[in-house]
Amino acid sequence: MSSSRASTAPVLLELRHAGRVTETQHAPPLQLRSLRPGLRARIVVYFSLATLIGVVILSVVTFAATRNYLLDQATSSAKSQAIANAQLVRSLVGTARSDAGEVVTNLRTETGGYAVLHLGTEDLFYAQAPLRFTQSNLPASFVSNAIRGVSGVQRVDFNDRPFEAVAVAIPAIDATYFEVFPINDVSDTLGTIRSTLVAAVIGITIVAGLIGFLLSGNVLLPLRRVTAAAKTIAEGALGTRLEAERDPDLQRLVTSFNGMADAVQERIEREERFASDVSHELRSPITSLGAAVDVLQGRADELSDRNRQALEIIAAQVRRFDRTVLDLLELSRLDARAGQDQLEELHLTSLVERIAARHGYEEVLVVSDLGGDDLVLVDKRRIERVLVNLLDNARDHAGGASEILLSTNDDDLLLIVDDNGPGIGVSERLRIFERFARGTASRNSVGSGLGLAIVSEHASAIGGRAYVDTSPSGGARFVVTIPRLDAEA
């Protein structure tokens, strides 16, 4: 007799726990995400990297050209002013050599600049600001070369500030004039340009990345359409095709994809028609064989023992053959997705009890911990086919079903059938739902090898899945998940 009363509380606690553990252990393995970025990310990275390299090169060239220009301008200006002051010194010192120190002191130089005069005959240095800057603050080689008559320009640092030093030989009065000019403005300007270029490089690279991201969306749009079409075909819509593209390169992709889809559709439909036609063609001779066997079995008492045994073997094989053909026909309909689901709002517990009783399994205990929370929107024919196939499988291969359990796991309801068999090996638990697959324990048992494949197909059709685990008693536990669906869905 079936039962769903609270007297089975210990069993329900174990069931609730086992259901959750099973779901965790046998959920489809998660795909490990590759560390390599996706195509769109790579496009963005390459686009940004190319832009960065180009902008950096342009910035370096621009900075170098600007730096050379500004420094050349500063040097030219310094030389012009130094030559002008040197001419003034030649005029004033040439008429009053003893006033050389006063002449240098009164010279008008660049703000922050300094002047130094060397008289060769006296070998004396006169500094404009002796307390701040003298010839000792200039490179010794630069000073010695200038005294020997070699005029020149050299950049020097004084008090951590950059200066341009100019040496002008004045042979008319046997003197050498030195003047240093601050180039802080040039340095500050170059620093501002450098900061601006760095900010521009970063900003342009970011903008280039955003542009690459936006453009890559359009570039990858055809691939998305191919992906969507492939997914739709995989879901069963074999007639899905890609639309024509104006781009000739993309059109070649569309033509190849549609050609492949046509070939796949034709082959699948041909195989489905073949399986369906063969199954239909076999129905008539099997029916005739069955009728003939029934006639012979009606007169079995007239046969010898040996002939009766042969007749029993023939009858069993005809029934097996008939069952195989029926299963093949059903799989053909499932593959072709023939017919529409007739969804009804049903209480799963009462539905399972009625199905078990109608098919002669009323002695199998039905245990439920769903209470009033077992309302589902489902095609009851699929539930019936799943449950009957699991019960038949337990009867044929595992000494019969021990219990039918109904539980819940998050968003799904669980329909569970435990059997009295030796269980299913871990290595066989995925393969056992394949067509014509048989477990080790059922090699010599009757059956078509299609029952569990039909269970899996029906489970997928209702949005669930089927898997197998070990029951607490050591036998096999077949679990089918049934999604909770709202009545409005």
- Lowest-pLDDT range, 156-170, 177-191, 204-218, 316-330? 316-330
How are strands ordered across the β-sheet holding 114-119? 124-127, 114-119, 175-182, 161-170, 152-158
pLDDT band at 421 (very low <50, low <70, confident <90, very high): confident
Average pLDDT over residues 156-172: 89
Structure tokens at 76: 């030219």
**Residue type at 451 in one-letter notation:** G
Q: How far apart are CA 91 and CA 85, in angstroms?
A: 10
- What is the 3 state secondary structure string of 2-67? CCCCHHHHHHHHHHHHHHHHHHHHHCCCCCCCCCCCCHHHHHHHHHHHHHHHHHHHHHHHHHHHHH
Bigger pLDDT: 5 vs 60:
60
Q: Provide the pLDDT for residue 477.
A: 92
Q: Provide the pLDDT for residue 422.
A: 86
Q: Return the closest-CA partner of residue 219 out of 249, 239, 187, 263.
A: 249
pLDDT band at 20 (very low <50, low <70, confident <90, very high): very low
Quick one: CA dihedral 24, 25, 30, 32, positive or negative? Answer: positive
pLDDT value at 264 more than 90: no
- Lowest-pLDDT range, 185-189, 211-215, 310-314, 434-438? 434-438
Q: How far apart are the first and last CA of the chain?
A: 35
**In the block, residue with structure tokens 């008693």:** 473
pLDDT band at 479 (very low <50, low <70, confident <90, very high): very high
Q: Which DSSP state fits 242?
A: P
CB 447 within 8 A of CB 396: yes
Residues contacting 71, CB < 8 A, separation 6+? 183, 186
pLDDT tens-digit profile of 194-212? 899 999 999 999 998 888 8
CB 126 within 8 A of CB 117: yes
Environment class of 49 (CB within 10 Å of its CB; exposed 0-12, middle 13-18, buried 19+): middle
Q: Provide the pLDDT for residue 7.
A: 37
pTM, two decimals, is: 0.47
pLDDT tens-digit profile of 101-154? 888 888 888 888 899 999 988 889 999 888 889 889 999 999 999 888 888 888
Grouping H, G, I as helix, E, B as strand and the rest as coil, residue 158 is: strand
Residues contacting 388, CB < 8 A, separation 6+? 355, 359
Structure tokens at 441: 């324990």
Helix axis angle, 184-234 relative to 39-95, nearest 10°? 170
pLDDT band at 279 (very low <50, low <70, confident <90, very high): low
Q: Provide the pLDDT for residue 53.
A: 92
- What is the 3 state secondary structure string of 124-159? EEEECECCCECHHHCCHHHHHHHHCCCCEEEEEEEC
pLDDT value at 16 more than 60: no
pLDDT tens-digit profile of 347-371? 888 889 999 999 889 898 888 888 7
Average pLDDT over residues 444-456: 73
The alpha carbon of 145 is separated from its chain's Cα centroid by a whole number of angstroms, namely: 70
CB 441 within 8 A of CB 386: no
Q: Return the closest-CA partner of residue 178 out of 229, 218, 247, 127.
A: 127
Helix (H) or strand (E) holding 157: strand 152-158
pLDDT tens-digit profile of 78-101? 888 888 888 998 888 888 888 888
Average pLDDT over residues 387-413: 86
Angle 282-283-287 (CA atoms, 0-180°, nearest 5)? 120
pLDDT tens-digit profile of 306-363? 887 888 888 877 777 777 777 666 666 666 665 566 788 888 888 899 999 998 898 9
pLDDT band at 285 (very low <50, low <70, confident <90, very high): confident
pLDDT band at 9 (very low <50, low <70, confident <90, very high): very low
Q: Where are the alpha helices (DSSP H) in 235-341?
A: 248-298, 305-336
Residue 111 has phi, psi (to 5 degrees) of -55, 125
Other C-beta atoms lying within 10 Å of the C-beta of residue 46:
12
Structure tokens at 34: 């590759």
CB 464 within 8 A of CB 412: yes
Helix axis angle, 305-336 relative to 451-461, nearest 10°? 20
- Mean pLDDT score across all residues of the chain: 80
Helix (H) or strand (E) holding 86: helix 39-95
CB 205 within 8 A of CB 51: yes
Q: Provide the pLDDT for residue 10.
A: 35
Q: How far apart are CA 489 and CA 477, in angstroms?
A: 31
Average pLDDT over residues 49-77: 88
Q: How far apart are CA 414 and CA 23, in angstroms?
A: 10
Other C-beta atoms lying within 10 Å of the C-beta of residue 355:
20
pLDDT band at 413 (very low <50, low <70, confident <90, very high): confident
Give whole-number Cα distances, 68 to 197, 200, 344, 434, in Å.
16, 21, 85, 78
pLDDT value at 236 more than 80: no
Give the domains, in start order, of the chain with CATH numbers: 51-189 (3.30.450.20), 248-334 (1.10.287.130), 340-483 (3.30.565.10)
Q: Provide the pLDDT for residue 486.
A: 53
